[in-house]
A and B are shown apart, each in its own frame.
Chain A
Amino acid sequence: MFGFNRYDLRLLINLFKMNVRDRYLGSSLGSFWAISNPLFMLALYTYIFGFVFKVKLPGAETTLAYVIWLISGYGPWIATTEAIMGAANSVVGASGLVKNMAFKTELLPIAGALVGAINLAVSFVFLLVLLAWAGTPITVHVIFLPVVMVLQFFWIIAVGMWLSAIAVFVRDILQILPTLLTAIMFMTPIFYPFESMPAIIQKGSLANPFYQIAEAYRSILIGNEFPSWPGLLYVATISGVILHFGLAAFRRAKGSFDSAI
């Protein structure tokens, strides 16, 4: 698929393991941070929006309901941020390998993006605890959760493929990216409901894959319904197209990596 074979899969797994290890290498608490960092961010936003701003959703009376709603959108977003940054940095960060070894460098952004899966898992465990506490039933719709997760990473890898190759030549995008991601976060209905956006922006948001992904998670976990199929199909299509051209561009550019990196 996309010009990869079984041997590449093993290398991908190795690169992923290496990324995870390097991420927390040297810090004495090690992989504890993998769990505690997202938890801390979730707790922080819960406190601010739930207890300071006292946001209430229409139809949801309790703060806990809002918190669950918030985390079902913000949890995956933390994973998205981590994954996009990981992918964008992947080629530049592995300059030693890229300069000295011949291998499918297009595996790097994929392995870099997959590091975000750890954050996603942590968020979901946290969320499950809250759901159990609130007594919200978990319905059969949850079997579509993996589909949404796969789509989320498909989309991130598609974007990351471009970013990682561009970053080799124009390092500046690594500087602007965190700011850009924060901007996207606030423009995507993650902290506020879709309905509170101005009508004209609502229309535009439908084309925002980040919104479609957040909405799919919420449908499954809170709405107890099937995610919007057209929305997911849209994400799958646009990711497929972007990844297709991204891979082609990446493969053309990789021959020049060693002189630019």
Chain B
Amino acid sequence: MSLYVELHEVSKVFPVGSSATGELVAAMAGDSGQGPGAGGKVAVDRLTLSITEGERLGIVGRNGAGKSTLLHMIAGISEPTAGSIRITGTVTSIMTLGVGLRDDLSGRENIYVDGEIQGKSRTDVDRVIDQVIEFAELGQFIDYPVRTYSTGMKARLAFAMITHVDPEILIIDEALSVGDASFSLKATARILEICARGKIVILVSHGMQSVREICNRCIYMKDGQIVMDGSPQDVTTAYIEEVRSEDEAALLQRFRAHVGNRSRRPGSQIRRVCLLSGSDEVGSLRVEARARLRIRVFGSHDSASGSAVCRVRIVRLDDLLVFQQDFRLADFSLRNGEIRIEIDFDPLVLGAAIYRLDAIFLECAADDSEPCCEHSTVFEVFTLTPPVGGKPMLYYPVTAVVQT
């Protein structure tokens, strides 16, 4: 018989603000009539999902999207408030590493304890214990009490314990990053191996790379519901995209005092300013340091001749003016009065920080000139390789030679 996991209209509501006794009574009475929304936090909202044999499902989503709650219900640790779950096959779940590590017992004894918790007999554990010990790489420490271990050693031991599972349906919740770099690689390889053995794998991860490597199907959860279901490549890309736009919205919200678009004179306006980092053609408010940055200004000005200029300024949020330059509007006017300017910074030398970008149309370049219209936005410069030992203000592209 083929294995499957089927969820039908599953909801989970966590009581919020109700008294402990109220919770007790509700729990014991099996009060499932309390539908979603009837006071309480809805963690999973009428979710329907079916997983068939051979599928390795990745679940992505932001914190609080209901991923872990969903896993807990599939694993049988908690029960849905409403809806039904049907599962064939035995479920093995790896939720948290090191549950039940006893500090006063040695590593070796803890492996037996772990077996006991799993309901294994001593002979079952005897069969795998050498592999576990070898995998954990603890050397002679395996016979020392666990309280003498460092956090990393504990994690390694805990991870080694889970690797001898032989699962039908395997559920993994974020247990992938363990120990130092070399152990982490080994652990990831082992997870891949376990997943290959599992007939159904359900994986929650914030590491998009592991989802792409391990899974052959991926769902994106948001507010307790599935918003996207498809190939890991497509779903993770969409997820990253959405997270980025949400982050940008949050950035604008946080610095909304600095953001604005105002026209002081009819006929003069800036419609849009966009920032294109690297080879990006869409525009983003997060731009990478040391990559190429193009700033595009779109607007219109009714007297785009003579001395009118577009002043572009980059101001760090502590009011430090880092860049200012004027561009004569006449040079960038299209025939229909449109103004399109593209300013190319190649590369962007600004250090990682948050900046405000002002674009202002002025009648003339004089300092006391009244602005006709202005547009301000906020952008963040980030770097993928954070500097060590200090935060440079500029990444100036310099060259150095041996002086002879």
Question: Which A positions have Cβ atoms within 8 angstroms of B?
Answer: 7, 10-11, 14-15, 17-18, 21-22, 25-26, 96-103, 165-166, 169-171, 249, 252-260
Contact = CB atoms under 8 A, between A and B. Distances in A.
B20 A25 contact: no
A100 B119 contact: no
Interface string B5-23: 0000000001100001101
Contact of B99 (A7, A96, A260): A96
A18 B23 contact: no
Contact of B23 (A100, A171, A256): A256
A256 B78 contact: yes
Given A10-B119, A18-B116, A259-B14, A100 B28 contact: no
Contact of B104 (A26, A96, A99): A26
Top 10 closest A-B pairs, CB basis? A255-B79, A102-B76, A169-B24, A14-B116, A252-B30, A253-B27, A256-B27, A11-B119, A100-B95, A249-B28
Contacts of A258: 72, 77-78
A103 B24 CA distance: 21
A15 to B, nearest CB: 8
Given A22-B102, A170-B21, A259 B78 contact: yes
B27 A252 contact: yes
A25 B105 contact: yes
Nearest to A14: B116
A158 to B, nearest CB: 16
A154 B26 CA distance: 27
A102 to B, nearest CB: 4
A17 B27 contact: no
Interface in B83-107: 91, 93, 95-96, 99-100, 102-105
A17 B14 CA distance: 34
Contact of A99 (B95, B102, B116): B95
Q: Is the interface of A mostly helix, strand, loop or mixed?
A: helix
Interface of B: 14-15, 20-21, 23-24, 26-30, 72, 75-80, 91, 93, 95-96, 99-100, 102-105, 113, 116-119, 121
Contact of A102 (B14, B93, B102, B103): B93
Contacts of A102: 75-77, 91, 93
A26 B145 CA distance: 10
A32 to B, nearest CB: 16
Contacts of B24: 166, 169-170, 253
B27 A169 contact: yes
Contacts of B103: 26
A15 B113 CA distance: 9
Contacts of B80: 255
Nearest to A104: B119
Given A26-B104, A169-B24, A99 B77 contact: yes
A101 B27 CA distance: 19
Given A14-B119, A18-B113, A170 B20 contact: yes
Contacts of A259: 14-15, 78
B145 to A, nearest CB: 9
B47 to A, nearest CB: 16
Nearest to A249: B28
